[in-house]
Amino acid sequence: MSGHAELLQGTLDMLILKVAALRPIHGYALAQRIQQISKEALQIRQGSLYPALYRLERQGQLKSEWKTTDGGREAKFYSLTKAGRQQLNAETAGWKRLCDAISLVLETVE
Amino acid sequence: MQWNSWLRRWRWERRMDAEFQFHLRSLIDDYVGQGFSHAEAELRARREFGPADLAKEECRDERPLAQFDHLLRDVRYACRSLRKNPGFAVAATLTLALGIGANTAIFSVLHGVVLTPLPYREPDQLVVVALYNRALRYPTDLSYPDFLDWQRDARAFGQVAAFKPQAFDLTSPGTPEHLDGNEVSSTFFSTLGVTLAHGRNFSPEEDRFGGMPGRDHQ
């Protein structure tokens, strides 16, 4: 057992928005943070991370800015726009409803 | 314009490369921090990072104006193909020209005949009633007494007027001129609901058989 979990389609956007909502963050740290918080269960690869970031930026949910990191390197920092915050709230609410509904079915039907 | 967009794209590509590079460097740094030698750290990081071409291609689709660039590329490709094959280009252009021309012609007629309402009051209430000889399959004229009967008895219409095409030759003053016109009953203009631009309307007495031309009362 690797302990890895499969990320459901469309949930990566929600996780990205959630983590970027705290403070401006670059892609690498974002992936690390998700991995860390999920206790290594979720591994976000560059192959899915960056297309998602670029898409969210084009959709106006994220905005970006190049800044110097603590290590002295130039990195692209992402932060939430107002639309991104609304989207995050909507998706979080939708996700909770979905989870409750699925749990209800799984626990009720015997 | 061309140069500008190329430059913008080049800058955008460089920034995307830099972002991917930063991710890889950070991975290497992490492995070094875990105590690996630099060479070993780089090897592990590259293996974990994997090839980035596919992700970059997906990112390119999200580039601002990417759709616009795709469109430009398509247009350029179309122009190139047409230039390479002039015969086809001419045939395509002619087909388009004829198609558009025919459609425009049909629409012009339809627009005038069907779509544009007649310039009268309540044009949708206007109808032409005519006689038709079925045996001869030919339209026939209506006699004056019949018209009077229609005018008196027709309940379906608010007003009835008669008209008959009639051409005139105007000889004076000046050069003689052929005029196309209509003989009409006195109710003609009020049935259409138009006001005269000039002159006076006909009086009912002028409808009578053998009636005298009315006088201008002004």
| Contact (CB<8Å) B26/A51 | no
Better pLDDT: B113 or B179? B179
Q: What is the pLDDT of residues A52-73, one digit of tens each?
A: 999 999 999 999 999 998 888 8
CA A7 → CA A4, A34, A35, A66, B201, distances in Å? Answer: 9, 12, 12, 29, 87
What is the mean pLDDT of the segment spanning B85-110?
93
What is the mean pLDDT of the segment spanning B74-88?
91
Residue B117's pLDDT band (cuts 50, 70, 90) = confident
CA B142 → CA A51, B53, B66, B208, distances in Å? Answer: 81, 86, 72, 16
* CA–CA min distance B20, chain A (Å): 8
Cβ–Cβ pairs < 8 A, chains A and B = 55
Angle at B78 between CA B74 and CA B84, to 5 degrees: 145
Query: Of B123, B190, B192, which Cα lies nearest the Cα of B207?
Result: B190
Cα–Cα distance measured from residue A90 to residue A106, given in angstroms and rounded to the nearest whole number: 24
* CA–CA min distance A96, chain B (Å): 29
In the predicted model, residues of chain A with pLDDT beneath 50 are 1
pLDDT mean across residues, chain B: 87
Contact status, residue A70 vs residue A62, Cβ threshold 8 Å:
no
Question: Which among A16, A26, A28, A77 is the top mutation candidate for probing chain B, defined by the most B β-carbons within 10 Å of its own β-carbon?
Answer: A28
Give the Cβ contact number of residue A87 at 10 Å: 20
Query: The whole model's pTM is what?
Result: 0.56
Q: Does B14 touch chain A (CB under 8 A)?
A: no
Q: How many helices (H) and strands (E) does chain B have?
A: 7, 4
| Beta bridge partners of residue A70, listed in sequence order | none
Q: Does A35 touch chain B (CB under 8 A)?
A: no
pLDDT for position B204: 83
- Look at A34-38, B23-27, B72-76, B171-175 and tell me which has the smallest mean pLDDT: B171-175
Q: State the complex-level ipTM.
A: 0.85
pLDDT for position B139: 86
Cα–Cα distance measured from residue B182 to residue B105, given in angstroms and rounded to the nearest whole number: 29
* CA–CA min distance B13, chain A (Å): 13
Residue ranges with strand state E in chain A: 25-26, 62-68, 74-80
Cα–Cα distance measured from residue B58 to residue B170, given in angstroms and rounded to the nearest whole number: 81
Q: Does B55 touch chain A (CB under 8 A)?
A: yes
